[in-house]
Amino acid sequence: MHLERNSLSAPSAQTQSSGLEGLITTLEDGTILHLNERACELLALEIKDAKGKKLHQLITFYSSEDVSPLTAEQTRFQIALKNNPNDQEIILGIATGDMFKWFVFHTSPFSEESNTGLLISFIDISKVINQNHALKDKQQQLQLLVASLNDLVFEVTDTGVFKNYWTNDPGLLFYPPEEFLNKSLTELFPADLAIPTIQLIQKSLRLNREFKMEFQSPSEQHTDKWYSLQIKPIHRSQNRIALVVSDITKQIESTEKIRFNEHKFNQAFHFSGLGIALTNLDGYCIESNHTLTKILGYTQEELSTMKFSHNTHPDDVERDIELRRKLIRGEIETFTIQKRYRHKLGHYVWCSVTIAAVFDNANAPLFLIVQVQDISESKKNIEILKRQKIESDLVKMELETKVRQLEEFTNILAHNLKGPLSNMPMLIDELKVSTDEAVKADFLNLLKISTEQLTETLHDLGEILELRSNKSLVFEDCDFLQIFYKVKQQYIGEIQQKNAIISVEFNVTNIYYPKIYLESILGNLISNSLRFTASDKAPCIEIRTSLEENGTLLTVKDNGLGINLPKYKSQLFMFKKVFHRGFESKGIGLFLTRYQVESLGGKIDVQSEPNEGSVFSVKFLERT
């Protein structure tokens, strides 16, 4: 292309006054020869500052594709000079603060004498470029959004014809989405599905509102599939909607499971044989079943206003609260306790209570499930069984005691009567044949001794039998101190004679017992403590009572001669057994004492060492 020099030296008056197009002429090295006012306005240049300067030194151009700055070698002006094209259309931008201005440049080469260069014309297309960038951004966002969805989006007309689709999962439906294009809903689906859908589409366009519906797959091969349709009007469109299809099969299945589980829970909750309540974390009843109302006597409305501690026995509240706190903190999964609830009528009901906590997905406690079982009858039966066991143990103990006593009585008869009875026939025979009066007198004396021994034994046995047959024992409230004073008076002479010291400490002051037995037991123990003492030592006797499980313990401690227990323990409480010679004793006191104690379910024992004294312990099984 050849231009006149006049045309290069200055732009024409028509071009300068166009007001839209900027014009610049440059040499081949980019040196500006001329530029019009519009060019200066668009590029923010001054004519006097621009002439003689190279264009790329004054302005940094940016690529329209990626908004990156271009070097002089990368600008299309230089490329156009090198390639010498007839015409080039280039879109470039310049930075103006935080914004960009975009221009379309047309370049044409020129030559004049020895100079070559470019004629550059350009106009502002910023609005178009910025709109295009915005559309690209929106398109990219839409693509990203669609790519992130598991749904299928159709563009559908108001008559139900499919025009376009977007999806990240082409296998979402029962056949490929491209088979829907340019087909109507009525062609693809049964009328009972297609017609309501078209009606919703038209209603959505008319009201400019979104609607939603669910349907089961019409395909016989996929009847287990469920889908959700969202019908959304497309902005600025009079006859197009977006039809969003989502596979909700898992949601439906999950919902059905939830409904089934809720149904099971409701059935178990309301028709359970256990009392069940839901309480908040503070213990207030949220909901309760009919069984619980029967156990406690309150209506469901009354229970809904009550806190568990309001009708719990005071002795059971603290333990219950402590376990609930551990449950809420997650330290335990569940707990079961036995506690007493106050019935509406005022009495207490024994219950076995099992409590568990329900937590949310963040492991925060929501509420408590309380299961209550009435065990009052079981508690009553257990108490009855305990009493019956105690009574049976007492009967067993009494029977064992009586059997042992009968055995001892038999041994007494066999041992203590055998000697005198066997001697008497022999002595009588000797008397019959003897003629010597002196010998007869000796035999008669021996016969008298045997008779006296037999009489004494029979008398003692008679007392024992009378004691055994005494069925008219009267139980009464016995005061230990009064009994002691009465017994003490019986031995006051011996106490004064031996300067005996007797101290008492009755921690248990009274006992329900036959007074005649208690006087005899205390009398025999005090008598032994006074009798079997060293001549050079004053008796010191300590008598105490204390409370023990199921009874009262009486101890009588002395500083007397003591007993060699390893040698005599097995014979200690036997009939007519004496362990110290030279003392007036028949040997039946401890025997009678043991019988009186054991016949009423008690026990007697002794601790002793020779010359160190003895401690007799009597355990009374107190009866009420």
Mean pLDDT for the chain? 79
pLDDT score at 179: 85
CA–CA dist 306, 53 (Å, integer):
93
Task: Judge contact between 620 and 513, C-beta under 8 A.
Answer: yes
Q: Which of 53-62, 384-393, 436-445, 587-596 has the lowest mean pLDDT?
A: 587-596
pLDDT score at 463: 57
Span 308-345, pLDDT tens digits: 888 899 999 999 999 999 999 999 999 999 999 999 99
pLDDT score at 6: 34
Q: What is the dihedral of CA 357, 360, 364, 368, to 10 degrees?
A: -20
Structure tokens that stand for 176 in this block = 């490929």
Q: How confident is the model at residue 353 (pLDDT cuts 50, 70, 90)?
A: very high
299 compared with 608, residue with greater pLDDT:
299
Q: Give the CA distances from residue 141 to residues 136, 137, 145, 256, in Å, rounded to whole numbers and listed in that order.
A: 8, 6, 6, 36
pLDDT at 16 over 50: no
pLDDT score at 581: 52
pLDDT score at 436: 77
Taking the mean position of all CA atoms in its chain, how far away is CA 493? Answer: 74
pLDDT at 227 over 60: yes
338 compared with 7, residue with greater pLDDT:
338
pLDDT score at 582: 44
CA–CA dist 375, 572 (Å, integer):
50
Structure tokens that stand for 75 in this block = 């600008």
Span 197-215, pLDDT tens digits: 999 999 988 888 899 988 8
pLDDT score at 15: 38
Q: Which of 25-34, 142-151, 511-520 has the lowest mean pLDDT?
A: 142-151
Span 240-267, pLDDT tens digits: 888 888 888 888 888 778 777 777 777 7
Among all chains, which residue has been given the structure tokens 């006296």?
452
DSSP helix/strand/coil, 368: strand
Q: How confident is the model at residue 554 (pLDDT cuts 50, 70, 90)?
A: very high
pLDDT at 536 over 70: yes
Q: Rounded to two decimals, what is the model's pTM?
A: 0.38
pLDDT score at 79: 64
